[in-house]
Structure 1
Amino acid sequence: MTCQIVQIEEREVRLTNLEKEMWPDGYTKADLIKYYVDMSPYILPYIKNRLFIMSRYPDGITGKMFYQKDAPEYTPEWVRTYPLVSERENKVVNYIVCDDLPTLVWLANQACIELHIWMAQKERLDYPDIVVFDLDPFPPATFKDTLDVAMLVKEALDRFGLQGYPKTSGSTGLHIFLPVRPEFTYAQVREGVRFLFEHIHAVYPEKTTLERSIDKRAGKVYLDYGQNTRGHTMTFHYSLRPHPGAPVSTPLTWDEVRAGDIEPEDFNIKTIFPRIAKVGDLYRPLLHREQSFAGLLTLVT
């Protein structure tokens, strides 16, 4: 078992089991940690000030995984946490807030492959500043079908003067992130997303579904507005995913979505850095763009 202490921004971080295979493709925990170190300039600005849920794969993606909301007892004292009363669990949960590189590296060393993050910042937990449109294809529906549906979402948002930002989920689906001012509750923005999805389903019923029952979604792209719920997390952009090939949830241009000639597996731990060097950080506007959901919500009954 390898173990070493590294100095990162004046913090000592203990790294263990670096040779542990995390993906059957041969990628190890060392590769996982290096990825997040190298990607940190494109990740930390987006996830800081947000609650982080740990999704841990101690034996790699072929072993058992578990989610962990509460910071473990051995969490270093310099890791920032945010206490939140959980009525469901009847206790205070100390969520990790990943604001810096040492924390990101420490989390990667805990075998946290994915970035599961709240859609609201911790000062206004009831008011999301990111609205998500989650498109999930069910075979025989394809990723190409999902891209076609995404273009309908774009057209709907355009009518309200709203700019959405698409990305692969890193699995089979596609997410569209919509940065907004934190002025409406989760319930309100969820109703806004439902309103748009219902209209999209009305014009494209042959390829979309709002069915809650999984066995009724075959051959359709599921329009999931329920992700806009307090306490739910989303896989953020540039997150690695626990699938063969070490795919990455990757921002796309709308031209790429429109062309429809891409596949989720095109974007992975090997290809993401050359892509950023070529197209830049496509999600950078999320850090500065403020949009209001008010115009759309005036139509929601």
Structure 2
Amino acid sequence: HIEGDGDTALTQACASGLEGLIAKRRDAAYHSGRSADWLKLKCHRRQEFVIVGYTASQARTGFRSLLLGVREGKALRYCGKVGTGFDQALLEDIGARLQKLVTDEPAVSDPPRMRGVIWVKPQLVCEVEYTEVTRDGALRHPSFQGLREDKPARQVKREKAVPVAAIEKEEDMHATASEAGKPRRTKVEASPDRPRKQSSARSGDVVEIGGVRISHADRVMDEASGVTKRELAEYHELVGPLLLPYARKRPIALVRCPQGDAQQCFFQKHKLPGLGDEVKKARIAGNEVIYVESQRGILELVQFNAIEIHGWGATMDAPDKPDWIVIDLDPDTALEFSDVVEAALEVRDNLDRIGLASFVKTTGGKGLHVVVPLEPHAGWDSVKGFAQAIASAMAEQQPDRYVANMSKAKRKGRIFIDYLRNGQGATAVLPYSPRARPGATIAMPVEWKDIRRIDPKEFTVRSAERWLKKRKRDPWAELLTTRQRLPDLD
């Protein structure tokens, strides 16, 4: 929920690949039915259509394209076809459904003259994204977005975008009419769909943790474990003194999950309206960055529905001089965690031989991060070049185990030694940050001597207190005080 600069919020939503925003009149109640109290602000043109037919394909299973219709008045009018946006599973699933609906007569009042058309009963509804509508009502550059199982075909009508300013003007006219004692009628419909109120967002569902007001505290942020927003805030209150030294005055990026659903999460690097005052912003090399200086700032990120916190390899004090290197060991899904452990130990030994101390943490998945603290001295190119040299040398020496190329095809059965997190603006998940993954796992610093005995899945938001009490010392206690420079590898 964001109050304030709607234009900026919509721009950021579109830049993050979201469908758009839902806007609500601030003083309007939650109620059923259509009204201009709710607006659907779209990043792209989308419309629901009735599937009225299809064309067969000899090159692929299912069909070649879907023929679309939309209701205008009482008539169902033809409005073009869509042949992109399908994977093999969709082609087979939709194709099987359509075969059961085949009919001899077209449902549209103006069927196109087209060879090879197979007409179907107008029962399936789909959503299509497009760039514009031609003069004859057809879609330009359509792309299939999915079936709408929740909407009957009889409700599908042509939508028309309306400028927000026009709705505001309409509302002003209604208000004037109401003041004059005349009945108020809403002429503009924001959307055929009423936005659904989240069950976890009840009024009164607010707690205060660490001096920060946490709204929608009982919202489930991870379906697998049931971890709530309240638990995330309590977790950060617990680990704040441990996480803050790595986050303080360091440009950060967030993985935000506004509805607590991993499928609806997105990456954010800029400050939006709604973020608290303890979340600061600045400009580095012409780009806006955000950072925090206090534990309260981290809790404000939680209130903003941030789950993951990623950080640059440099601080605001010296943004051009990295203070650590991150070697990210990312295994192919077929490999075991024990394979990654052996790779991390090999990276550590290689660094030891050239006089560099290193530390290790889990990533919340099957990977590991080997972190090399640095005195802020060398520039980004030098640091990234050094990390690349380490990764390339290991990949050349053992090409059957390692790869330094991010190509998915080349990573099969191997561990990708990712050095790309060491460029300016690149980020890596910070120690103790939760992950937006099933189980609400966390990125946990561990001792090198314990690395063979751990299971990364055991480090979670809920188990963190037990693990922190169990360990005898902070395994990263010396990381931020270790002063070392890159050696000359020539």
Amino acid at match of 2:208: V
TM-score between both structures, scaled by the size of structure 2: 0.56
Residue correspondence of structure 1 range 63-74 to structure 2 within 5 A:
63-74=263-274
Cα deviation, 1:12-31, whole Å, max 9, x if unaligned, reads 63321111110112111111
Q: Which deviates more, 222-231 or 279-288?
A: 279-288
The yes-or-no answer on 1:61 pairing with 2:261 is yes
Amino acid at match of 2:339: D
Measure how far apart 1:180 and its partner are: 0.4
Cα deviation, 1:167-208, whole Å, max 9, x if unaligned, reads 111122100111101111121111111212222223322211
- Residue 6 of structure 1 aligns with which residue? 208
- Residue 285 of structure 1 aligns with which residue? 478
What percent identity do the matched residue pairs reach? 28
Residue correspondence of structure 1 range 1-301 to structure 2 within 5 A:
1=202, 2-4=204-206, 6=208, 8=210, 13-24=212-223, 25-86=225-286, 93=288, 95-257=289-451, 260-279=452-471, 280-293=473-486, 295=487, 298-300=488-490
Amino acid at match of 1:232: A
Unaligned runs of 5+ in 2: 1-201
- Residue 40 of structure 2 aligns with which residue? none
Query: Quick check: which has more Rg, 1 or 2?
Result: 2
Cα deviation, 1:209-240, whole Å, max 9, x if unaligned, reads 12231122111000111111100111011110
Flag the structure with more relative contact order, 1 or 2, with Cα contacts below 8 A and sequence separation at least 6: 1
User: In 2, Cα distance between the equivalents of 1:84 and 1:14?
Assistant: 30
Amino acid at match of 2:267: Y
- CA pair 5-142 structure 1, distance change in 2 beyond 3 A: closer
Measure how far apart 1:3 and its partner are: 4.5
- CA pair 62-73 structure 1, distance change in 2 beyond 3 A: closer
- CA pair 85-267 structure 1, distance change in 2 beyond 3 A: same
Q: Residue 80 of structure 1 aligns to a residue in which SS?
A: strand
Amino acid at match of 2:238: D
User: In 1, Cα distance between the equivalents of 2:407 and 2:480?
Assistant: 36
Q: Residue 313 of structure 2 aligns to a residue in which SS?
A: strand
Q: Which deviates more, 127-136 or 277-286?
A: 277-286
- Residue 54 of structure 2 aligns with which residue? none
- CA pair 76-26 structure 1, distance change in 2 beyond 3 A: closer
- CA pair 78-159 structure 1, distance change in 2 beyond 3 A: closer
Amino acid at match of 2:217: L
User: In 1, Cα distance between the equivalents of 2:463 and 2:398?
Assistant: 34
Q: Is 1:37–1:105's contact at 8 Å kept on the other side of the alignment?
A: yes
Cα deviation, 1:41-87, whole Å, max 9, x if unaligned, reads 1111221010121221011133411222221123334433223354x
Q: Which deviates more, 168-177 or 264-273?
A: 264-273
User: In 2, Cα distance between the equivalents of 1:226 and 1:19?
Assistant: 37
Q: Residue 50 of structure 1 aligns to a residue in which SS?
A: coil
Q: Is 2:209–2:233's contact at 8 Å kept on the other side of the alignment?
A: no
Q: Residue 227 of structure 1 aligns to a residue in which SS?
A: helix
- CA pair 189-110 structure 1, distance change in 2 beyond 3 A: same
- Alignment RMSD, CA only? 1.8
- CA pair 277-7 structure 1, distance change in 2 beyond 3 A: closer
User: In 2, Cα distance between the equivalents of 1:139 and 1:228?
Assistant: 24
Amino acid at match of 1:150: A
- CA pair 58-7 structure 1, distance change in 2 beyond 3 A: closer
Q: Residue 166 of structure 1 aligns to a residue in which SS?
A: strand
Q: Is 2:361–2:444's contact at 8 Å kept on the other side of the alignment?
A: yes
TM-score between both structures, scaled by the size of structure 1: 0.89
Unaligned runs of 5+ in 1: 87-91
Q: Which deviates more, 181-190 or 276-285?
A: 276-285
User: In 1, Cα distance between the equivalents of 2:261 and 2:479?
Assistant: 30
Q: Is 1:55–1:112's contact at 8 Å kept on the other side of the alignment?
A: yes
User: In 2, Cα distance between the equivalents of 1:131 and 1:50?
Assistant: 14
More helix by percentage: 1
Q: Is 2:207–2:217's contact at 8 Å kept on the other side of the alignment?
A: no
Q: Is 2:241–2:295's contact at 8 Å kept on the other side of the alignment?
A: no
Q: Is 1:168–1:251's contact at 8 Å kept on the other side of the alignment?
A: yes
Amino acid at match of 1:165: F
Q: Residue 267 of structure 2 aligns to a residue in which SS?
A: strand
- Residue 149 of structure 2 aligns with which residue? none
User: In 1, Cα distance between the equivalents of 2:205 and 2:460?
Assistant: 27
Q: Is 2:375–2:483's contact at 8 Å kept on the other side of the alignment?
A: yes
Measure how far apart 1:241 and its partner are: 0.6
